[in-house]
Amino acid sequence: MSVGMAAAPVPYGCDPLRSRGRRFSEPPSRHRSPFRRDCDRVIHSTAFRRLKHKTQVFIFHEGDHYRTRLTHTLEVAQIARALARQLGLDEDLTETLALAHDLGHTPFGHAGERALDACLKDHGGFDHNAQSLRVVTELERRYPDFDGLNLTWEALEGIVKHNGPLIDRAGQPAARYREEGIPLGIANYVREHDLDLATYASLEAQVAAIADDIAYNAHDIDDGLRAGLFTVDDLGIVPLISDINARVAARYPSLDEARRGSELVRELISHLIEAVYAETGRRAARAQPQSADDVRHLDHPLAVFPADVASEEKAIKSFLWEHMYRHERVMRVMKEAEALVADLFHRYHDHPSDLPAEWASDLGRDNETGRARRIGDFIAGMTDNYAMSEYARLFDSPPELR
């Protein structure tokens, strides 16, 4: 089968008719599968709309054409759907997980996350995956019978485990959580609704996760070129990109710089998608899973880059780390953004009456940790614009972030 064509459904994809269901029982939809319903709920959520004014790398006022969390999320969803279609997986569940993966992100991207994690260090810290779970299980309040979106079990496990198991078979925190433990929001939730933290997530979730890597590698190159942080020729120190540049130059010897960059990004996305498709197929053929649960109980993921492409992708990340994420211009703005978020947290903590009435009233029922985390919930939900306007209101000093 050529890449791009839809594959027949595979037995190890998630079947919406065999979903483990929702935490709170609901009548089934007459016209939509459970996973399509999940996807629609994410799209119509307040948290999803707020992504349009949350930073990816560049603050909103630095230009209209840079990615935001929303445009990044849409690009992830497009890549994830393409892979799911080629692999014979459930596209609706894959799209749900792609669209939901960043719902817990703070204003100002990872700078805001670092600031909130520091502010909450004595109260469980802050983790954007755990916050995404809180958004879809508690913080969205749209329905009369439950808080959250009441997504299917498969959607919730994918949000929590798309990067792999959180605990080992002995129940101890694993991977990135080995040092500091399972994030509080996840640990509290799974006491009431088990998400099998010791297993991998479905292949749909794995595909959404690797689509995230493909999308941000490619579009961060695009945004870095647009911002003038580096040139197409500068990227030539990365072997894979040097090869792509050579092919583009052979086909289009007189192409201008902007179109060279666009063609590079397009070729890079295609190369990475094809590599994941091929490697996932090879791994599935070796493992021979016969159900989604078989995928979950393997001792390795299926949706990965082959070893040579993984090395190439690591080189791209290293280039972006040095030339973009650690660039003096970006670092200066992010440092200021971290300070802004920390100032807001401490102001609300010391003066709860500065919070909106519905948030301030809720604080009175909580202990110190509950109050701190409630303030964290409020700030995490902010857009960049709202955080800046709140800072100007509370400190009478409009932030520049330039």
The pLDDT score that the predictor gives to residue 93 is 98
pTM of the predicted model over 0.85:
yes
What is the SS3 assignment for 301?
Answer: coil
Confidence at residue 321, expressed as pLDDT on a 0 to 100 scale? 94
Phi, psi of 228 (to 5 degrees): 75, 20
Angle in degrees, 0-180, between the axes of helices 203-227 and 307-320, rounded to the nearest 10: 40
Dihedral of the alpha carbons of 243, 245, 246, 250, in degrees to the nearest 10:
140
Tens digit of pLDDT for each residue in 87-111? 999 999 999 999 999 999 999 988 9
Separation between Cα atoms, residue 45 and residue 102, nearest integer Å: 13
Find out whether 108 and 344 touch, Cβ atoms under 8 Å: no
Residue among 80, 109, 95 nearest 223 (CA): 109
Q: Which fold has domain 1-402?
A: Hypothetical protein af1432 (1.10.3210)
CA-nearest of 86, 100, 91, 84 to 35 is 91
Who contacts 50 (Cβ-Cβ below 8 Å, separation ≥6)? 381, 382, 383
Q: Are 51 and 73 in contact (CB under 8 A)?
A: yes
The pLDDT tens digits for 145-192 are 999 999 999 999 999 999 999 999 999 999 899 988 999 999 999 999
pLDDT at 67: 84
Domain spans, the chain: 1-402
